[in-house]
Amino acid sequence: MSNIEPALTGQDVVEAFKSDVENFFEARHGFELRIETAGDDPTCRGSGPTARIQLPETMMGHSVESFTDVALLLLVLGHETAHYLHRHNEHYDESALEYRALEVWADYFGTKVAMVVMTLGEKTLRCFGNLSGATNTGSRLDALASALANLSGSYFNITSPKYPSASERVSTCIRGMLSFFEVQFGLQAGAEGGEAAYRKAMQPRTIVERALKLQMRLYGNSTLGSLADTSPRQDCEYSELKIIAAIHRKIQNGQPALFEGLKPLQSQWLSLNYDLPDELQAAIAKKRRELLKKTLEDMDISHG
């Protein structure tokens, strides 16, 4: 009998990802993430009972030798799953701006899906937790940076007004990572040290300092560092968020969520309820911006 373990492939990552995402929902709701092998590029097709993610054979057969390989595949899967979970194909885009806004959201939310899967996904951790680059937060950040660098020249490298530039997409994914870590470190601190530790972990200054350290680690990758120098745009961020919220609220159409049954822990990162008034969302966003601005000023950090 041979002791050599079978080589891991993209198919293994996809199967683990699918199982873990489905496990994020209460069983009684019967959530299914439909994935099939087809086409030349990853995409989300259909709507309602025909909604499914299509992945090319080359991706399914891709050799997985390190956590960088896993991270790359999870980021792509996360993006397409974000489209799937938000039922984007039920919406008819009225402009290139709407299409672009949904792509921005899929990058941001999809990155959080990938991060939650690699952190909480039981099957993913069991299959890939011992790979090179998976042992600690630092090595995982390096793997994620390498994966983003790879994607910037492939999956993200699309010349079309319907898509942000590769540098903008990398920046959006990193914002998704920072959002993930903000929640994770808060929950972790609270679990270990109680309410006082949670409050300290969620102080604006603590959040900013942590975000700066995370970004320094990620942008330490030479490719990402070069992309950062291209200065991705900032001006449309809030208008895009308004468009995204309106579209999701329209799709949700008064239902409790876009998909019901997401478990409470996973909901800390991946809430699918967008049924909030514009005024409330605007007030929350304004308060966060003002708090961030004051914190940066107190820390003597320049901001645009």
- Which stretch of 134-143, 233-242, 261-270 has the lowest confidence by average pLDDT? 233-242
pTM: 0.90
Which DSSP helix (H) or strand (E) runs through 289? helix 278-298
Q: What is the DSSP string of 224-273?
A: HHHHHTT----TTHHHHHHHHHHHHHHHHTTSS-SSS-B-HHHHHHH---
Convert the pLDDT of each residue in 106-144 to its tens digit: 999 999 999 999 999 999 999 998 888 888 888 999 999
Query: Which pLDDT value is given to residue 296?
Result: 54
Report how far residue 100's alpha carbon sits from residue 4's, in angstroms, rounded to the nearest whole number. Answer: 46
CA separation for the pair 269, 156 (Å, rounded): 24
Which residues neighbour 281 within 8 Å (Cβ) at sequence distance 6 or greater? Answer: 245
Average pLDDT, the chain: 88
Structure tokens at 248: 């999701």
Lowest-confidence segment of 143-152, 194-203, 270-279 by average pLDDT:
270-279
pLDDT tens profile 187-196:
888 888 888 8
303 neighbors 296 (Cβ within 8 angstroms): yes
Task: Give the contacts of 250 (CB within 8 A, at least 6 positions apart).
Answer: 91
Mean of pLDDT values over 242-262: 92
Which run of H or E residues covers position 286?
helix 278-298
Mean pLDDT of 82-96: 94
Q: CA–CA separation, 260 vs 271, rounded Å?
A: 10
For 47-114, the DSSP string reads -GGG-EEEE-HHHHT-EE-SHHHHHHHHHHHHHHHHHHHTTGGGS---SHHHHHHHHHHHHHHHHHHH
Tell me how far apart the alpha carbons of residues 254 and 274 are, in angstroms, rounded to a whole number.
Answer: 9
